[in-house]
Structure 1
Protein backbone atom coordinates (compact mmCIF):
# COMPACT_ATOMS: atom_id res chain seq x y z
CA UNK A 1 0.00 0.00 0.00
CA UNK A 2 2.89 2.37 0.68
CA UNK A 3 3.97 2.30 -2.98
CA UNK A 4 0.37 3.06 -3.96
CA UNK A 5 0.36 6.01 -1.55
CA UNK A 6 3.49 7.38 -3.20
CA UNK A 7 1.85 7.00 -6.61
CA UNK A 8 -1.26 8.75 -5.28
CA UNK A 9 0.88 11.63 -3.99
CA UNK A 10 2.51 11.97 -7.41
CA UNK A 11 -0.90 12.20 -9.08
CA UNK A 12 -1.92 14.92 -6.62
CA UNK A 13 1.28 16.88 -7.24
CA UNK A 14 0.98 16.61 -11.03
CA UNK A 15 -2.75 17.45 -10.93
CA UNK A 16 -3.19 15.12 -13.89
CA UNK A 17 -3.28 11.37 -14.51
CA UNK A 18 -1.69 11.96 -17.88
CA UNK A 19 1.30 13.92 -16.55
CA UNK A 20 1.69 11.54 -13.58
CA UNK A 21 1.67 8.50 -15.89
CA UNK A 22 4.49 9.98 -17.98
CA UNK A 23 6.51 10.82 -14.87
CA UNK A 24 6.00 7.37 -13.35
CA UNK A 25 6.45 5.60 -16.71
CA UNK A 26 3.13 3.83 -16.24
CA UNK A 27 0.26 3.78 -18.71
CA UNK A 28 -2.68 5.99 -17.82
CA UNK A 29 -5.17 3.07 -17.63
CA UNK A 30 -2.78 1.18 -15.30
CA UNK A 31 -2.41 4.29 -13.15
CA UNK A 32 -6.18 4.72 -12.96
CA UNK A 33 -6.50 1.10 -11.82
CA UNK A 34 -3.91 1.66 -9.10
CA UNK A 35 -5.77 4.69 -7.76
CA UNK A 36 -9.08 2.80 -7.88
CA UNK A 37 -7.50 -0.15 -6.08
CA UNK A 38 -6.14 2.18 -3.36
CA UNK A 39 -9.59 3.73 -2.89
CA UNK A 40 -11.08 0.24 -2.63
CA UNK A 41 -8.53 -0.84 -0.02
CA UNK A 42 -9.07 2.32 2.03
CA UNK A 43 -12.83 2.23 1.57
CA UNK A 44 -13.03 5.93 0.66
CA UNK A 45 -13.12 8.18 -2.39
CA UNK A 46 -9.91 10.15 -2.80
CA UNK A 47 -10.80 12.23 -5.87
CA UNK A 48 -13.95 14.00 -6.94
CA UNK A 49 -13.79 13.60 -10.73
CA UNK A 50 -15.09 16.60 -12.67
CA UNK A 51 -14.67 15.50 -16.28
CA UNK A 52 -10.90 15.29 -16.80
CA UNK A 53 -10.23 17.33 -13.66
CA UNK A 54 -9.27 15.63 -10.42
CA UNK A 55 -10.14 17.37 -7.17
CA UNK A 56 -9.18 15.97 -3.80
CA UNK A 57 -11.97 15.08 -1.43
CA UNK A 58 -11.62 15.96 2.24
CA UNK A 59 -10.38 12.46 3.04
CA UNK A 60 -8.16 12.69 -0.05
CA UNK A 61 -6.39 15.72 1.45
CA UNK A 62 -5.93 13.81 4.71
CA UNK A 63 -4.53 10.84 2.77
CA UNK A 64 -2.15 13.09 0.84
CA UNK A 65 -0.77 14.52 4.10
CA UNK A 66 -0.21 10.98 5.38
CA UNK A 67 1.44 9.98 2.10
CA UNK A 68 3.90 12.86 2.43
CA UNK A 69 4.75 11.82 5.98
CA UNK A 70 5.38 8.26 4.79
CA UNK A 71 7.59 9.52 1.98
CA UNK A 72 9.67 11.56 4.42
CA UNK A 73 9.96 8.67 6.87
CA UNK A 74 11.07 6.32 4.11
CA UNK A 75 13.69 8.79 2.89
CA UNK A 76 15.01 9.18 6.42
CA UNK A 77 15.10 5.41 6.88
CA UNK A 78 17.01 4.87 3.64
CA UNK A 79 19.49 7.60 4.59
CA UNK A 80 20.03 6.00 8.01
CA UNK A 81 20.37 2.57 6.40
CA UNK A 82 22.99 3.96 4.04
CA UNK A 83 24.99 5.37 6.96
CA UNK A 84 24.73 2.03 8.73
CA UNK A 85 26.17 0.23 5.70
CA UNK A 86 29.03 2.70 5.63
CA UNK A 87 29.78 1.98 9.27
CA UNK A 88 29.14 5.55 10.45
CA UNK A 89 27.67 6.24 13.90
CA UNK A 90 23.89 6.35 13.88
CA UNK A 91 22.50 7.87 17.04
CA UNK A 92 24.34 8.88 20.18
CA UNK A 93 22.69 10.03 23.39
CA UNK A 94 25.06 12.17 25.42
CA UNK A 95 24.30 13.32 28.94
CA UNK A 96 26.13 16.33 30.33
CA UNK A 97 26.00 18.28 33.55
CA UNK A 98 25.18 21.97 33.23
CA UNK A 99 28.73 23.02 34.03
CA UNK A 100 30.34 20.79 31.41
CA UNK A 101 27.77 22.02 28.89
CA UNK A 102 29.34 25.45 29.15
CA UNK A 103 33.01 24.45 29.34
CA UNK A 104 33.84 21.03 27.88
CA UNK A 105 31.09 20.27 25.39
CA UNK A 106 31.44 23.02 22.73
CA UNK A 107 34.89 21.96 21.47
CA UNK A 108 34.07 18.25 21.85
CA UNK A 109 30.78 18.42 19.96
CA UNK A 110 32.41 20.52 17.23
CA UNK A 111 35.21 17.97 16.80
CA UNK A 112 32.78 15.02 16.81
CA UNK A 113 30.37 16.49 14.25
CA UNK A 114 33.28 17.63 12.09
CA UNK A 115 34.59 14.05 11.94
CA UNK A 116 31.17 12.39 11.70
CA UNK A 117 28.87 14.94 9.98
CA UNK A 118 26.13 12.34 9.38
CA UNK A 119 25.91 11.36 13.05
CA UNK A 120 22.79 12.16 15.04
CA UNK A 121 23.72 13.54 18.43
CA UNK A 122 21.08 13.85 21.14
CA UNK A 123 22.23 15.98 24.07
CA UNK A 124 20.50 15.91 27.45
CA UNK A 125 21.57 18.07 30.37
CA UNK A 126 21.01 17.50 34.04
CA UNK A 127 22.64 17.33 37.43
CA UNK A 128 25.72 15.14 37.89
CA UNK A 129 23.96 12.38 39.83
CA UNK A 130 21.22 12.26 37.19
CA UNK A 131 23.80 11.81 34.40
CA UNK A 132 25.61 9.08 36.33
CA UNK A 133 22.44 7.07 36.98
CA UNK A 134 21.19 7.49 33.39
CA UNK A 135 24.47 6.19 31.93
CA UNK A 136 24.58 3.33 34.45
CA UNK A 137 21.02 2.31 33.53
CA UNK A 138 21.71 2.50 29.78
CA UNK A 139 19.43 5.45 29.01
CA UNK A 140 22.42 7.50 27.83
CA UNK A 141 25.34 6.12 25.83
CA UNK A 142 27.96 8.32 27.46
CA UNK A 143 28.12 11.19 29.93
CA UNK A 144 30.41 14.06 30.80
CA UNK A 145 30.44 15.22 34.40
CA UNK A 146 32.41 17.79 36.39
CA UNK A 147 33.65 15.27 38.96
CA UNK A 148 34.98 11.73 39.19
CA UNK A 149 32.75 8.79 40.06
CA UNK A 150 33.39 5.20 41.10
CA UNK A 151 29.89 3.97 40.32
CA UNK A 152 29.96 0.15 39.88
CA UNK A 153 29.67 -0.89 36.24
CA UNK A 154 30.92 2.45 34.87
CA UNK A 155 34.23 3.43 33.37
CA UNK A 156 35.32 6.93 34.34
CA UNK A 157 38.04 8.63 32.28
CA UNK A 158 39.40 11.92 33.70
CA UNK A 159 39.86 14.44 30.89
CA UNK A 160 41.48 17.37 32.68
CA UNK A 161 41.89 18.95 36.09
CA UNK A 162 40.08 22.15 37.01
CA UNK A 163 39.52 24.41 39.99
CA UNK A 164 37.55 27.50 40.90
CA UNK A 165 38.83 31.04 40.51
CA UNK A 166 37.47 34.28 41.94
CA UNK A 167 36.09 36.47 39.16
CA UNK A 168 35.23 40.16 39.49
CA UNK A 169 34.93 43.21 37.27
CA UNK A 170 38.29 44.76 36.40
CA UNK A 171 37.53 47.82 38.55
CA UNK A 172 36.39 45.83 41.60
CA UNK A 173 38.15 46.77 44.91
CA UNK A 174 39.34 43.17 45.37
CA UNK A 175 41.64 43.53 42.36
CA UNK A 176 43.80 45.92 44.44
CA UNK A 177 44.26 43.46 47.32
CA UNK A 178 47.83 42.02 47.10
CA UNK A 179 47.20 38.67 48.80
CA UNK A 180 43.59 37.54 48.74
CA UNK A 181 42.28 35.01 51.26
CA UNK A 182 38.88 33.50 51.91
CA UNK A 183 38.35 36.09 54.66
CA UNK A 184 38.02 38.73 51.96
CA UNK A 185 34.85 36.97 50.78
CA UNK A 186 33.09 37.33 54.15
CA UNK A 187 29.98 39.47 53.60
CA UNK A 188 31.17 40.00 50.03
CA UNK A 189 28.30 40.40 47.51
CA UNK A 190 28.42 37.28 45.35
CA UNK A 191 26.61 35.41 42.60
CA UNK A 192 26.53 31.67 43.29
CA UNK A 193 25.33 28.62 41.41
CA UNK A 194 21.82 27.42 42.11
CA UNK A 195 21.26 25.13 45.09
CA UNK A 196 21.41 21.44 44.30
CA UNK A 197 24.18 21.75 41.72
CA UNK A 198 27.53 20.06 42.26
CA UNK A 199 29.38 23.39 42.14
CA UNK A 200 27.05 24.90 44.73
CA UNK A 201 27.61 22.04 47.15
CA UNK A 202 31.36 22.38 46.67
CA UNK A 203 31.36 26.14 47.31
CA UNK A 204 29.04 25.82 50.31
CA UNK A 205 31.38 23.25 51.84
CA UNK A 206 34.33 25.55 51.18
CA UNK A 207 32.61 28.51 52.81
CA UNK A 208 31.61 26.39 55.79
CA UNK A 209 35.16 25.09 56.33
CA UNK A 210 36.50 28.63 56.12
CA UNK A 211 33.82 30.11 58.38
CA UNK A 212 32.75 32.48 55.58
CA UNK A 213 29.25 33.84 55.03
CA UNK A 214 29.04 35.55 51.63
CA UNK A 215 26.32 38.05 50.80
CA UNK A 216 24.48 35.98 48.18
CA UNK A 217 22.80 38.39 45.75
CA UNK A 218 21.83 35.91 43.02
CA UNK A 219 21.74 32.15 42.38
CA UNK A 220 22.13 31.24 38.71
CA UNK A 221 23.01 28.10 36.69
CA UNK A 222 24.39 29.89 33.63
CA UNK A 223 28.07 30.88 33.50
CA UNK A 224 27.30 33.36 30.74
CA UNK A 225 24.61 35.08 32.77
CA UNK A 226 26.94 35.31 35.78
CA UNK A 227 29.72 36.85 33.69
CA UNK A 228 27.37 39.43 32.22
CA UNK A 229 25.93 40.39 35.60
CA UNK A 230 29.18 40.74 37.57
CA UNK A 231 30.00 44.32 36.48
CA UNK A 232 26.38 45.44 36.80
CA UNK A 233 25.76 44.44 40.41
CA UNK A 234 29.39 44.85 41.52
CA UNK A 235 29.57 41.30 42.82
CA UNK A 236 32.08 38.47 42.76
CA UNK A 237 31.71 34.87 41.62
CA UNK A 238 33.57 31.58 41.77
CA UNK A 239 33.88 30.10 38.28
CA UNK A 240 35.86 27.15 36.88
CA UNK A 241 39.25 28.07 35.48
CA UNK A 242 38.51 26.07 32.29
CA UNK A 243 35.69 28.49 31.43
CA UNK A 244 37.74 31.63 31.92
CA UNK A 245 39.32 31.96 28.49
CA UNK A 246 41.52 35.07 28.07
CA UNK A 247 39.25 36.51 25.36
CA UNK A 248 36.21 36.10 27.65
CA UNK A 249 37.89 38.03 30.47
CA UNK A 250 39.13 40.76 28.13
CA UNK A 251 35.84 41.28 26.31
CA UNK A 252 33.90 41.32 29.58
CA UNK A 253 36.30 43.60 31.42
CA UNK A 254 36.80 40.92 34.07
CA UNK A 255 39.68 39.80 36.28
CA UNK A 256 40.44 36.24 37.40
CA UNK A 257 41.97 36.25 40.90
CA UNK A 258 43.78 33.50 42.77
CA UNK A 259 43.01 32.50 46.33
CA UNK A 260 45.13 29.70 47.73
CA UNK A 261 42.20 28.08 49.53
CA UNK A 262 40.48 27.64 46.17
CA UNK A 263 43.03 24.98 45.32
CA UNK A 264 40.88 22.76 47.55
CA UNK A 265 38.24 22.85 44.81
CA UNK A 266 40.44 20.85 42.42
CA UNK A 267 38.35 18.33 40.53
CA UNK A 268 38.43 16.24 37.35
CA UNK A 269 36.05 16.61 34.43
CA UNK A 270 35.34 13.04 33.34
CA UNK A 271 33.87 11.01 30.52
CA UNK A 272 31.75 8.10 31.74
CA UNK A 273 30.28 5.09 29.96
CA UNK A 274 29.16 1.57 30.80
CA UNK A 275 31.78 -1.08 31.32
CA UNK A 276 31.12 -3.51 28.46
CA UNK A 277 30.56 -3.59 24.69
CA UNK A 278 29.85 -0.12 23.27
CA UNK A 279 27.84 0.90 20.24
CA UNK A 280 29.73 2.23 17.22
CA UNK A 281 28.48 5.71 18.07
CA UNK A 282 29.73 5.53 21.66
CA UNK A 283 33.11 4.14 20.60
CA UNK A 284 33.54 6.96 18.10
CA UNK A 285 32.81 9.61 20.73
CA UNK A 286 35.27 8.04 23.18
CA UNK A 287 37.90 8.12 20.42
CA UNK A 288 37.22 11.77 19.56
CA UNK A 289 37.27 12.70 23.26
CA UNK A 290 40.72 11.18 23.62
CA UNK A 291 41.85 13.25 20.62
CA UNK A 292 40.41 16.51 21.97
CA UNK A 293 41.72 15.91 25.50
CA UNK A 294 44.97 13.98 24.92
CA UNK A 295 46.12 14.63 28.50
CA UNK A 296 43.34 12.52 29.95
CA UNK A 297 44.22 9.94 32.57
CA UNK A 298 43.62 6.22 32.70
CA UNK A 299 40.11 5.02 33.63
CA UNK A 300 39.14 5.08 37.29
CA UNK A 301 37.34 2.27 39.00
Structure 2
Protein backbone atom coordinates (compact mmCIF):
# COMPACT_ATOMS: atom_id res chain seq x y z
CA UNK A 1 0.00 0.00 0.00
CA UNK A 2 2.81 2.46 0.84
CA UNK A 3 4.22 2.20 -2.67
CA UNK A 4 0.75 2.82 -4.14
CA UNK A 5 0.42 5.92 -1.93
CA UNK A 6 3.71 7.19 -3.38
CA UNK A 7 2.34 6.69 -6.89
CA UNK A 8 -0.89 8.43 -5.89
CA UNK A 9 1.11 11.46 -4.64
CA UNK A 10 2.92 11.64 -7.98
CA UNK A 11 -0.42 11.76 -9.82
CA UNK A 12 -1.60 14.60 -7.57
CA UNK A 13 1.62 16.59 -8.04
CA UNK A 14 1.62 16.19 -11.83
CA UNK A 15 -2.17 16.80 -12.07
CA UNK A 16 -2.41 14.12 -14.74
CA UNK A 17 -2.24 10.33 -14.98
CA UNK A 18 -0.38 10.60 -18.28
CA UNK A 19 2.28 13.00 -16.97
CA UNK A 20 2.66 11.00 -13.75
CA UNK A 21 3.03 7.77 -15.72
CA UNK A 22 5.81 9.35 -17.82
CA UNK A 23 7.57 10.56 -14.66
CA UNK A 24 7.35 7.07 -13.13
CA UNK A 25 8.32 5.26 -16.35
CA UNK A 26 5.01 3.37 -16.26
CA UNK A 27 2.21 2.98 -18.74
CA UNK A 28 -0.92 4.99 -18.04
CA UNK A 29 -3.15 1.86 -17.76
CA UNK A 30 -0.74 0.28 -15.26
CA UNK A 31 -0.76 3.40 -13.12
CA UNK A 32 -4.57 3.59 -13.29
CA UNK A 33 -4.77 0.01 -12.02
CA UNK A 34 -2.49 0.83 -9.08
CA UNK A 35 -4.61 3.83 -8.10
CA UNK A 36 -7.79 1.75 -8.43
CA UNK A 37 -6.21 -0.94 -6.23
CA UNK A 38 -5.32 1.67 -3.60
CA UNK A 39 -8.88 3.02 -3.60
CA UNK A 40 -10.19 -0.55 -3.23
CA UNK A 41 -7.86 -1.27 -0.30
CA UNK A 42 -8.84 1.97 1.43
CA UNK A 43 -12.50 1.46 0.63
CA UNK A 44 -13.02 5.03 -0.56
CA UNK A 45 -12.62 7.14 -3.70
CA UNK A 46 -9.56 9.39 -3.76
CA UNK A 47 -10.47 11.20 -6.99
CA UNK A 48 -13.61 12.53 -8.59
CA UNK A 49 -13.37 11.86 -12.30
CA UNK A 50 -14.93 14.75 -14.24
CA UNK A 51 -14.48 13.87 -17.88
CA UNK A 52 -10.73 13.56 -18.37
CA UNK A 53 -10.02 15.75 -15.34
CA UNK A 54 -9.26 14.42 -11.85
CA UNK A 55 -10.23 16.24 -8.68
CA UNK A 56 -9.23 15.19 -5.18
CA UNK A 57 -11.98 14.12 -2.82
CA UNK A 58 -11.74 15.08 0.86
CA UNK A 59 -10.33 11.61 1.50
CA UNK A 60 -7.88 12.12 -1.37
CA UNK A 61 -6.66 15.38 0.16
CA UNK A 62 -6.14 13.66 3.51
CA UNK A 63 -4.27 10.83 1.81
CA UNK A 64 -2.06 13.29 -0.07
CA UNK A 65 -1.21 15.11 3.17
CA UNK A 66 -0.30 11.73 4.67
CA UNK A 67 1.92 10.98 1.66
CA UNK A 68 3.85 14.22 2.23
CA UNK A 69 4.46 13.26 5.87
CA UNK A 70 5.42 9.77 4.76
CA UNK A 71 7.96 11.23 2.34
CA UNK A 72 9.41 13.40 5.06
CA UNK A 73 9.73 10.52 7.52
CA UNK A 74 11.31 8.36 4.83
CA UNK A 75 13.89 11.06 4.10
CA UNK A 76 14.76 11.41 7.76
CA UNK A 77 15.10 7.64 8.04
CA UNK A 78 17.51 7.54 5.08
CA UNK A 79 19.54 10.37 6.53
CA UNK A 80 19.85 8.69 9.93
CA UNK A 81 20.62 5.35 8.32
CA UNK A 82 23.39 6.92 6.29
CA UNK A 83 25.01 8.28 9.46
CA UNK A 84 25.73 4.69 10.53
CA UNK A 85 27.61 4.04 7.28
CA UNK A 86 30.19 6.76 7.65
CA UNK A 87 31.26 9.23 10.29
CA UNK A 88 32.63 11.58 7.65
CA UNK A 89 30.74 14.73 6.71
CA UNK A 90 28.31 14.13 3.85
CA UNK A 91 29.48 15.59 0.53
CA UNK A 92 27.08 16.28 -2.33
CA UNK A 93 28.05 17.60 -5.76
CA UNK A 94 25.36 19.53 -7.61
CA UNK A 95 25.62 20.36 -11.30
CA UNK A 96 24.09 23.68 -12.28
CA UNK A 97 23.74 25.70 -15.44
CA UNK A 98 25.32 29.17 -15.21
CA UNK A 99 21.98 30.95 -14.89
CA UNK A 100 20.81 28.50 -12.25
CA UNK A 101 24.06 28.95 -10.35
CA UNK A 102 23.32 32.65 -9.98
CA UNK A 103 19.55 32.55 -9.49
CA UNK A 104 18.55 29.34 -7.78
CA UNK A 105 21.50 27.67 -6.09
CA UNK A 106 22.43 30.33 -3.46
CA UNK A 107 19.09 30.14 -1.67
CA UNK A 108 18.97 26.35 -1.84
CA UNK A 109 22.52 25.90 -0.52
CA UNK A 110 21.89 28.38 2.30
CA UNK A 111 18.75 26.52 3.37
CA UNK A 112 20.43 23.11 3.18
CA UNK A 113 23.56 24.06 5.09
CA UNK A 114 21.55 25.84 7.77
CA UNK A 115 19.53 22.68 8.31
CA UNK A 116 22.54 20.35 8.01
CA UNK A 117 25.68 22.12 9.30
CA UNK A 118 27.91 19.11 8.53
CA UNK A 119 26.81 18.93 4.92
CA UNK A 120 29.41 19.91 2.34
CA UNK A 121 27.96 20.98 -1.02
CA UNK A 122 30.10 21.29 -4.12
CA UNK A 123 28.87 22.84 -7.35
CA UNK A 124 29.93 22.22 -10.94
CA UNK A 125 28.70 24.62 -13.60
CA UNK A 126 28.16 24.17 -17.32
CA UNK A 127 25.51 24.37 -20.01
CA UNK A 128 22.36 22.34 -19.47
CA UNK A 129 23.38 19.55 -21.86
CA UNK A 130 26.79 19.38 -20.19
CA UNK A 131 25.18 18.99 -16.77
CA UNK A 132 22.98 16.21 -18.19
CA UNK A 133 26.11 14.39 -19.36
CA UNK A 134 27.71 14.76 -15.91
CA UNK A 135 24.57 13.27 -14.34
CA UNK A 136 24.67 10.31 -16.75
CA UNK A 137 28.36 9.75 -16.04
CA UNK A 138 27.67 10.01 -12.28
CA UNK A 139 30.20 12.83 -11.91
CA UNK A 140 27.58 14.91 -10.07
CA UNK A 141 24.92 13.61 -7.70
CA UNK A 142 22.13 15.57 -9.35
CA UNK A 143 21.69 18.65 -11.50
CA UNK A 144 19.51 21.76 -11.55
CA UNK A 145 19.07 23.21 -15.02
CA UNK A 146 16.86 25.80 -16.69
CA UNK A 147 15.26 23.19 -18.94
CA UNK A 148 14.10 19.60 -18.84
CA UNK A 149 15.71 16.43 -20.18
CA UNK A 150 12.92 14.40 -21.69
CA UNK A 151 14.66 12.58 -24.54
CA UNK A 152 16.99 10.42 -22.43
CA UNK A 153 15.43 7.49 -20.56
CA UNK A 154 18.49 7.20 -18.29
CA UNK A 155 17.78 10.63 -16.76
CA UNK A 156 14.80 11.55 -14.61
CA UNK A 157 13.73 15.19 -14.98
CA UNK A 158 11.50 16.69 -12.28
CA UNK A 159 10.11 20.22 -12.80
CA UNK A 160 10.82 22.59 -9.89
CA UNK A 161 9.27 25.89 -10.96
CA UNK A 162 8.51 28.08 -13.98
CA UNK A 163 10.61 31.18 -14.56
CA UNK A 164 9.90 34.24 -16.68
CA UNK A 165 11.69 37.44 -17.65
CA UNK A 166 10.95 40.78 -16.01
CA UNK A 167 11.91 44.31 -16.97
CA UNK A 168 14.10 45.95 -14.31
CA UNK A 169 14.85 49.69 -14.28
CA UNK A 170 16.43 52.24 -11.93
CA UNK A 171 13.72 53.89 -9.86
CA UNK A 172 14.64 57.27 -11.34
CA UNK A 173 14.41 56.12 -14.97
CA UNK A 174 12.45 58.56 -17.13
CA UNK A 175 10.35 55.85 -18.75
CA UNK A 176 8.66 55.10 -15.43
CA UNK A 177 6.80 58.40 -15.76
CA UNK A 178 4.47 56.60 -18.14
CA UNK A 179 1.41 55.06 -16.53
CA UNK A 180 1.76 51.67 -18.21
CA UNK A 181 4.56 50.12 -20.25
CA UNK A 182 4.12 47.76 -23.18
CA UNK A 183 6.52 45.63 -25.18
CA UNK A 184 7.13 48.34 -27.78
CA UNK A 185 8.63 50.55 -25.03
CA UNK A 186 11.69 48.27 -25.12
CA UNK A 187 12.41 49.40 -28.67
CA UNK A 188 15.46 51.68 -28.53
CA UNK A 189 15.63 51.42 -24.72
CA UNK A 190 19.23 51.50 -23.37
CA UNK A 191 19.81 48.03 -21.94
CA UNK A 192 22.46 45.88 -20.30
CA UNK A 193 22.05 42.22 -21.28
CA UNK A 194 23.56 38.94 -20.20
CA UNK A 195 26.36 37.64 -22.44
CA UNK A 196 25.29 35.30 -25.29
CA UNK A 197 25.35 31.54 -24.85
CA UNK A 198 22.81 30.83 -22.09
CA UNK A 199 19.10 29.98 -22.19
CA UNK A 200 18.41 33.38 -20.64
CA UNK A 201 20.08 35.35 -23.43
CA UNK A 202 18.67 33.04 -26.09
CA UNK A 203 15.15 33.60 -24.74
CA UNK A 204 15.80 37.36 -24.61
CA UNK A 205 16.95 37.46 -28.24
CA UNK A 206 13.99 35.35 -29.36
CA UNK A 207 11.70 37.77 -27.56
CA UNK A 208 13.22 40.75 -29.37
CA UNK A 209 12.82 39.01 -32.74
CA UNK A 210 9.23 38.00 -32.00
CA UNK A 211 8.18 41.58 -31.27
CA UNK A 212 10.56 43.16 -33.79
CA UNK A 213 12.39 45.09 -31.06
CA UNK A 214 15.84 46.67 -31.31
CA UNK A 215 16.95 47.86 -27.87
CA UNK A 216 20.06 49.98 -27.48
CA UNK A 217 22.40 47.33 -26.03
CA UNK A 218 25.06 49.19 -24.05
CA UNK A 219 26.80 46.22 -22.40
CA UNK A 220 26.83 42.41 -22.42
CA UNK A 221 27.95 40.89 -19.10
CA UNK A 222 27.97 37.31 -17.79
CA UNK A 223 27.09 38.26 -14.21
CA UNK A 224 23.64 39.18 -12.93
CA UNK A 225 25.22 40.93 -9.95
CA UNK A 226 27.32 43.16 -12.20
CA UNK A 227 24.29 43.98 -14.36
CA UNK A 228 22.26 44.97 -11.31
CA UNK A 229 25.02 47.21 -9.96
CA UNK A 230 25.49 49.01 -13.28
CA UNK A 231 21.87 49.78 -14.13
CA UNK A 232 21.61 53.06 -12.22
CA UNK A 233 25.02 54.30 -13.30
CA UNK A 234 24.25 53.60 -16.97
CA UNK A 235 20.61 54.73 -16.71
CA UNK A 236 19.71 51.49 -18.47
CA UNK A 237 17.20 48.70 -18.11
CA UNK A 238 17.57 44.94 -18.28
CA UNK A 239 15.56 41.73 -18.47
CA UNK A 240 16.24 39.39 -15.57
CA UNK A 241 14.76 36.02 -14.54
CA UNK A 242 12.03 36.38 -11.96
CA UNK A 243 13.77 33.78 -9.77
CA UNK A 244 16.73 36.12 -9.27
CA UNK A 245 14.77 39.15 -8.10
CA UNK A 246 14.49 39.38 -4.33
CA UNK A 247 12.92 42.39 -2.58
CA UNK A 248 16.14 43.16 -0.70
CA UNK A 249 18.18 43.07 -3.91
CA UNK A 250 15.86 45.62 -5.51
CA UNK A 251 15.84 47.80 -2.41
CA UNK A 252 19.63 47.82 -2.04
CA UNK A 253 20.15 48.84 -5.67
CA UNK A 254 17.18 51.22 -5.93
CA UNK A 255 15.59 49.27 -8.73
CA UNK A 256 12.01 48.82 -9.85
CA UNK A 257 10.35 45.84 -11.53
CA UNK A 258 7.93 46.56 -14.35
CA UNK A 259 5.33 43.89 -15.02
CA UNK A 260 4.56 43.50 -18.71
CA UNK A 261 1.94 40.90 -19.59
CA UNK A 262 3.76 39.57 -22.64
CA UNK A 263 6.97 39.05 -20.65
CA UNK A 264 5.25 37.08 -17.89
CA UNK A 265 3.60 34.77 -20.41
CA UNK A 266 6.97 33.54 -21.71
CA UNK A 267 8.13 30.86 -19.28
CA UNK A 268 11.05 28.49 -18.89
CA UNK A 269 10.94 25.52 -16.51
CA UNK A 270 13.80 24.90 -14.10
CA UNK A 271 14.17 21.19 -13.39
CA UNK A 272 16.07 18.82 -11.15
CA UNK A 273 17.69 15.96 -13.04
CA UNK A 274 19.17 12.74 -11.68
CA UNK A 275 20.09 9.27 -12.81
CA UNK A 276 18.83 5.88 -11.74
CA UNK A 277 17.72 6.14 -8.08
CA UNK A 278 19.29 2.72 -7.42
CA UNK A 279 22.71 4.27 -8.05
CA UNK A 280 22.20 7.13 -5.61
CA UNK A 281 23.40 6.91 -2.01
CA UNK A 282 20.79 7.39 0.68
CA UNK A 283 22.11 10.86 1.56
CA UNK A 284 21.70 12.03 -2.05
CA UNK A 285 18.18 10.65 -2.30
CA UNK A 286 17.36 12.49 0.90
CA UNK A 287 18.77 15.78 -0.45
CA UNK A 288 16.80 15.36 -3.67
CA UNK A 289 13.62 14.97 -1.64
CA UNK A 290 14.52 18.05 0.40
CA UNK A 291 15.24 20.03 -2.77
CA UNK A 292 11.85 19.09 -4.20
CA UNK A 293 10.22 20.13 -0.92
CA UNK A 294 12.14 23.43 -0.93
CA UNK A 295 10.65 24.39 -4.28
CA UNK A 296 7.19 22.97 -3.62
CA UNK A 297 4.24 25.36 -3.15
CA UNK A 298 4.51 24.88 0.61
CA UNK A 299 8.27 25.48 0.68
CA UNK A 300 10.21 28.70 0.16
CA UNK A 301 9.18 30.55 -2.93
CA UNK A 302 12.00 30.92 -5.50
CA UNK A 303 10.32 33.85 -7.21
CA UNK A 304 9.64 37.47 -6.36
CA UNK A 305 6.20 37.82 -4.84
Identify whether the pair has TM-score above 0.5, normalized to the shorter chain. Answer: yes
1:168 aligns with 2:165: no
1:136 aligns with 2:136: yes
Specify the alignment match of 1:273 in structure 2. Answer: 274
Specify the alignment match of 1:294 in structure 2. Answer: 296
| Partner Cα distance (1:178, 1:130) in 2 | 44
1:44-95 per-position Cα deviation (integer Å, ceiling 9, x unaligned): xxxxxxxxxxxxxxxxxxxxxxxxxxxxxxxxxxxxxx96635777332211
| Partner Cα distance (1:174, 1:183) in 2 | 12
Count of aligned residue pairs for this structure pair: 215
1:108-164 per-position Cα deviation (integer Å, ceiling 9, x unaligned): 112222333333322111222221222123221101112223141211111122211
State how 1:176-255 maps to structure 2 within 5 Å.
176-255=177-256
Distance 1:113 1:84, change over 3 A: farther
Contact 1:83–1:89 (Cα < 8 Å) also in 2: no
Contact 2:200–2:241 (Cα < 8 Å) also in 1: no
The CA deviation at 1:242 is 1.9
The CA deviation at 1:221 is 1.7
Contact 2:165–2:264 (Cα < 8 Å) also in 1: yes
Contact 2:277–2:285 (Cα < 8 Å) also in 1: no
For structure 2, the residue ranges without an aligned partner over 5 or more in a row are 1-81, 299-305
For structure 1, the residue ranges without an aligned partner over 5 or more in a row are 1-81, 297-301
Report the secondary structure of 1:212's partner residue.
Answer: coil
| Partner Cα distance (2:248, 2:93) in 1 | 31
State how 1:1-301 maps to structure 2 within 5 Å.
85-86=85-86, 90-152=90-152, 153-277=154-278, 278-295=280-297
| Partner Cα distance (1:85, 1:279) in 2 | 11
- State the TM-score, normalizing by the size of structure 1: 0.66
Contact 1:88–1:119 (Cα < 8 Å) also in 2: no
> CA RMSD, aligned part only?
2.1
Contact 1:94–1:122 (Cα < 8 Å) also in 2: yes
| Partner Cα distance (1:223, 1:217) in 2 | 15
- State the TM-score, normalizing by the size of structure 2: 0.65
